A and B are shown apart, each in its own frame.
Chain A
Amino acid sequence: MPEQKLGPLEESEPDHGVAEQRRNRGAPGERIEPRSLAERPAAEHDVDERARLLLDAVRERRQLEDPRVGQLARDAAHVLEWERRRFGGAVSHPQREGQRMEQPATVDHGASLRQELDALLPQSAQRERRLAASGRHHDDDSTALSRQPEPVQPGHAAPVEVRADSREGEVEARTPGDTRVVAGHMGVVPLEDGDRSAEVVDDGPVADLVDDVSLRDERRRRVAEGPIVRFPELETDRDVGVGGSRSDFEPGEIATDRLDHLLPASAEPKPQAVHVELVTDHRSETVRAGAEAHSTDPYHRVIARPSTDFHAAAAADGPLARRKRDARPYDVLFALTAADLRTRYGRGPLRVVKWLLDPFALVGVYLILVTFVLNRPGFAPGLSLACAVVPFQLIMTTVINAMSAITTRRSIILNMAFPRTLLPVSSALTEAVGFLASFSLFAVMMASYRVAPTYQILWLPVIVAVTICFAIAISFPALLFGLWFRELRPVAISLVRTMFFLGSGLVPLSATQGSVDNALKLNPFTAIFESYREVLMFDAAPRLWEILYPLGLSAGLIALFLPLYLVEQRQFAKVVE
Chain B
Amino acid sequence: MTARISASGLGIKFLFDHERRVVTPAVARLRRRGAEVWGLRDVGVELRGGEGVALLGPSGSGKTTLLRVLGRIYYPDAGSLVIEGRVASLLSVDAGLLTLLTGRENAQLLLVLAGHSRRRVRSELEQVEERSRLGASFDRPVSSYSQGMRARLGFAVADRSDPDILLLDEVHEALDHEFREIVRHRAEEIIAAGGIVVAAGHDHPLLAQICTRAVFLSGGVVQTVGPFEEVQRTYLDQVA
- List chain A positions with a Cβ less than 8 A from chain B: 86-88, 191, 193-199, 259, 261-262, 278, 280, 285, 297-300, 303-305, 308-311, 323-328, 331-332, 334-336, 338-339, 342-343, 408-409, 411-418, 483-484, 564, 567-568, 570-571, 573-575, 577
Known: A285-B185, A414-B91. A310 touches B86 (CB 8 A): yes
A411 pairs with B92, CB closer than 8 A: yes
Least CB distance from B83 to A in Å reads 10
Is B233's beta carbon under 8 Å from chain A? no
Give complex CA distance A567, B27 in Å: 12
Give complex CA distance A193, B127 in Å: 21
Residues of B within 8 A of A568 (CB): 24, 26
Task: Choose among B22, B177, B185 the residue that contacts A574 (Cβ–Cβ < 8 A).
Answer: B22
Task: Choose among A299, A308, A416, A418 the residue that contacts B186 (Cβ–Cβ < 8 A).
Answer: A299
Residues of B within 8 A of A575 (CB): 22-24
Give per-residue flags for B163-196: 1 if the beta carbon is below 8 A from chain A beta carbons, else 0: 0100000000000111001100110011001100
A308 pairs with B73, CB closer than 8 A: no
Is B114's beta carbon under 8 Å from chain A? yes
Residues of A within 8 A of B96 (CB): 411-412, 414-416
- List chain B positions with a Cβ less than 8 A from chain A: 1-3, 14, 22-27, 30, 49, 68, 71-75, 84-87, 89-92, 94-101, 105-106, 108-110, 112-120, 127, 130-131, 133-137, 146, 148-149, 152, 154, 162, 164, 176-178, 181-182, 185-186, 189-190, 193-194
Residues of A within 8 A of B112 (CB): 327, 331-332, 334-335
A87 pairs with B26, CB closer than 8 A: no
B194 pairs with A191, CB closer than 8 A: no
B186 pairs with A300, CB closer than 8 A: yes
Residues of B within 8 A of A199 (CB): 133, 135
Give complex CA distance A409, B125 in Å: 22
Task: Choose among A194, A304, A408, A413 the residue that contacts B73 (Cβ–Cβ < 8 A).
Answer: A413
Residues of A within 8 A of B182 (CB): 297, 299-300
Residues of B within 8 A of A325 (CB): 116-117, 120
A-B contact list, 16 entries, CB within 8 Å: A193-B178, A197-B137, A261-B176, A298-B130, A299-B182, A300-B189, A327-B112, A328-B117, A334-B112, A335-B109, A335-B112, A338-B105, A339-B106, A339-B109, A412-B110, A416-B96
Task: Choose among A198, A261, A331, A411 the residue that contacts B97 (Cβ–Cβ < 8 A).
Answer: A411
A-B contacts besides A298-B130, A339-B109, A573-B73, 12 pairs, CB < 8 Å: A88-B136, A195-B152, A196-B146, A197-B135, A199-B133, A297-B182, A300-B182, A305-B162, A310-B1, A335-B109, A343-B100, A343-B101
Residues of B within 8 A of A417 (CB): 71-73, 87
Task: Choose among B2, B23, B118, B189 the residue that contacts A331 (Cβ–Cβ < 8 A).
Answer: B118
Residues of A within 8 A of B26 (CB): 484, 564, 567-568
Give complex CA distance A409, B112 in Å: 15
Task: Choose among B110, B118, B133 the residue that contacts A416 (Cβ–Cβ < 8 A).
Answer: B110
Give complex CA distance A297, B185 in Å: 11
B1 pairs with A334, CB closer than 8 A: no
Known: A325-B117, A564-B26. A308 touches B194 (CB 8 A): yes
Least CB distance from A278 to B in Å reads 8
Residues of A within 8 A of B68 (CB): 414, 573
Give complex CA distance A165, B73 in Å: 59
Task: Choose among A86, A331, A334, A415 the residue that contacts B136 (Cβ–Cβ < 8 A).
Answer: A86
Task: Choose among B101, B131, B162 the residue that contacts A339 (Cβ–Cβ < 8 A).
Answer: B101
Least CB distance from B50 to A in Å reads 9
Residues of B within 8 A of A483 (CB): 24
Give complex CA distance A196, B152 in Å: 11
A415 pairs with B22, CB closer than 8 A: no
B113 pairs with A412, CB closer than 8 A: yes
Closest to B182 in A: A299
B95 pairs with A415, CB closer than 8 A: yes
Give complex CA distance A197, B182 in Å: 19
Closest to A297 in B: B182
Give complex CA distance A326, B162 in Å: 13
Central interface residue in A331, A484, A577, by most chain B CB within 10 Å: A331
Q: Give 7 closest A-B pairs by Cβ, nearest first.
A: A415-B96, A335-B112, A417-B72, A195-B148, A570-B75, A418-B113, A571-B24
Residues of A within 8 A of B27 (CB): 484
Residues of B within 8 A of A577 (CB): 22
B136 pairs with A261, CB closer than 8 A: no
Closest to B96 in A: A415
B193 pairs with A303, CB closer than 8 A: yes
A299 pairs with B137, CB closer than 8 A: no
Give complex CA distance A261, B135 in Å: 16
B193 pairs with A308, CB closer than 8 A: yes
Give complex CA distance A411, B171 in Å: 14
Central interface residue in A194, A298, A303, A564, by most chain B CB within 10 Å: A303
B134 pairs with A196, CB closer than 8 A: yes
Known: A343-B101, A484-B26. A324 touches B119 (CB 8 A): yes
Task: Choose among A196, A331, A411, A418 the residue that contacts B137 (Cβ–Cβ < 8 A).
Answer: A196
Task: Choose among A196, A324, A418, A564 the residue that contacts B135 (Cβ–Cβ < 8 A).
Answer: A196
Known: A87-B136, A280-B185, A308-B194. A416 touches B177 (CB 8 A): no
Give complex CA distance A193, B148 in Å: 10
Residues of A within 8 A of B85 (CB): 310
A484 pairs with B24, CB closer than 8 A: yes
Give complex CA distance A568, B26 in Å: 7
Give complex CA distance A285, B178 in Å: 13
A415 pairs with B73, CB closer than 8 A: yes
Residues of A within 8 A of B95 (CB): 411, 415
Central interface residue in B87, B91, B109, B154, by most chain A CB within 10 Å: B109
Residues of B within 8 A of A412 (CB): 96, 98, 109-110, 113
Residues of B within 8 A of A342 (CB): 100-101, 105
Closest to A304 in B: B162
B1 pairs with A309, CB closer than 8 A: yes
Known: A191-B178, A415-B154. A326 touches B115 (CB 8 A): yes
Task: Choose among A259, A305, A309 the residue that contacts B177 (Cβ–Cβ < 8 A).
Answer: A259
Residues of B within 8 A of A88 (CB): 136
Residues of B within 8 A of A87 (CB): 136
B92 pairs with A414, CB closer than 8 A: yes
Central interface residue in A199, A262, A327, A567, by most chain B CB within 10 Å: A327
A299 pairs with B131, CB closer than 8 A: yes
Least CB distance from A201 to B in Å reads 9
Least CB distance from B80 to A in Å reads 15
Residues of A within 8 A of B3 (CB): 310
Known: A412-B96, A415-B95. A195 touches B149 (CB 8 A): yes
B117 pairs with A326, CB closer than 8 A: yes
